[in-house]
Copies of this chain bind each other. A is one copy, B any other.
Amino acid sequence: MKNKEFILKEQWQITKHLVRWLLLVLPVAVITGLLVALFLWTLDLATEIRWQFSWIIFLLPLAGVFITVLYKYFGKGTELGNNLIIDQIHLNDNNGVPLRMTPLIIFTTVVTHLFGGSAGREGTAVQVGGSISAFFSKVFNLNQEDNTFILMTGIAAGFGAVFGTPVSGAIFALEVLAIGRMKYNALLPCLMASIIADVTCSLCGIEHTKYHIDSVTTITTILPNIDIDVKLMFTVASAGVLFGLISILFVQLSDFIKKTATLYLKNKLIIALTGGILVISISYLLGTLDYLGIGVKSINTDGISIVSAFKQGGVNYFSWFWKLLLTVITLSMGYKGGEVTPLFFIGAAFGNTFASICGGPIDLFAGLGFIAVFAAATNTPIASFIMGIELFGSEYMPYYAIACFVAYYFSGHKGIYHSQKIAVSKANILK
């Protein structure tokens, strides 16, 4: 029975592999979880302070200058952010991600939020996970292949902890590397990392915002005996197309502003200063500060936020566009933070507006926009679909799949992460 022996040998190797990775992942995930908790706690504090002292936003241009100077002196080699980590994974390199990325990105993200920049948090968390894992890669003296693995677990840990969604955190780390293909090489190490980081973060007392979709239960399907409402399915697919196009607008506008600013303003300090002034001016023209900061909640009970987007009349028809514009200016002109939470805001607000105009349950379409614009902009349709289930429950999961997959197709081959490889063309366009 040679065959049997070989099998047992294989299981033994798998066991060793997994135990080894549990030990390697443990410090990365625990420390990432702790730092993400610290980050989220500080972020909440910064938001509270800005709500209390709203004049603070007039200091945003100066904050931008400060961040730019900080990065000029200490940020060398970290400016690429998430793209740097994706690059290093593709290069099998373990020297490119410095540990100082962690304090730098946490500090500058909090500064951005404190003074009213419109930004997110996943980028920060992923960079923390990435730089902590790169640090341990050096400590453990890992070889190239293992280094790739540990960087992926860092992404999973950061993403899983910051949103409280461990399964989509793990899938995101596998899926984000290349468009159109998922390799399972670090499937379990990534799941371990995101669960451990999420548990650590939760143990620190971090609570994640809960969203609810429940109006759809009152829908009557036109066909008997089936759970899927065919008309709603087509409405969701149409919304998916628009979610994909919004993601293109986000990516293209970011590139356009970056290029234009570099072309005409040249100096990075002046770019940051101008960006800050633009953000303040636009906010005052709009007459609301609700599009600043993280945007999960608003200080006003009738304010505009991700949470309000799940309610009838919770946003204006162009809320999605103003959040998009302010975020793109903030992140393209020298301020720091993630893109994903603003993408949630943009998607949820647009979903709300779409449902108001085209008819459909507001909360369902807000939830669909939340995950589908993210799916489109990051090219991670399966992680986004799973995130929908983790955040909103499974009742409407076929609609999540339709919205995320359609948006993914329509966002083309460019996303917010320029370092993503194109592995498989969408719709056989690129040969």
User: Residue-by-residue, is A174-185 near B (CB-CB < 8 Å gives 1, otherwise 0)?
Assistant: 000000111111
How many A residues touch B, CB cutoff 8 Å?
68
Residues of B within 8 A of A113 (CB): none
Residues of B within 8 A of A228 (CB): 166, 195, 198-199
Residues of B within 8 A of A224 (CB): 203
Residues of B within 8 A of A14 (CB): 409-410, 412, 426-427, 429
A91, CB-defined interface residue at 8 Å: no
Contact of A394 among B10, B191, B195, B394 (CB under 8 A): B394
Residues of B within 8 A of A77 (CB): none
Once the chains are docked, how many angstroms separate the CA of A224 from the CA of B204? 10
Residues of B within 8 A of A413 (CB): 10
Interface majority SS (helix, strand, loop, mixed), chain A: helix
How many whole Å from A118's CB to the nearest CB in chain B? 24
User: Residue-by-residue, is A184-205 near B (CB-CB < 8 Å gives 1, otherwise 0)?
Assistant: 1101100100010011001101
Given contacts A10-B429, A202-B226, 14 further A-B contacts (CB under 8 A): A7-B412, A14-B410, A14-B412, A14-B429, A17-B427, A180-B184, A181-B184, A188-B405, A195-B228, A195-B398, A195-B402, A198-B228, A199-B230, A207-B225
Once the chains are docked, how many angstroms separate the CA of A180 from the CA of B245? 31
A393, CB-defined interface residue at 8 Å: yes
Are A205 and B225 in contact, with the CB atoms below 8 A?
A: yes
26 contacts between A and B (CB under 8 A): A3-B252, A4-B252, A7-B248, A7-B412, A10-B413, A10-B429, A11-B412, A14-B410, A14-B412, A18-B409, A166-B398, A167-B398, A180-B185, A182-B182, A183-B424, A185-B424, A185-B428, A187-B381, A187-B405, A188-B409, A198-B228, A199-B228, A203-B223, A203-B225, A390-B394, A390-B397
A170, CB-defined interface residue at 8 Å: yes
Could you list which residues of chain A lie within 8 angstroms of chain B, going by C-beta atoms?
3-4, 7, 10-11, 13-14, 17-18, 145, 166-167, 170-171, 180-185, 187-188, 191, 195, 198-199, 202-203, 205, 207, 223-228, 230, 233, 244-245, 248, 252, 381-382, 385-386, 389-390, 393-394, 397-398, 401-402, 405-406, 408-410, 412-413, 423-429
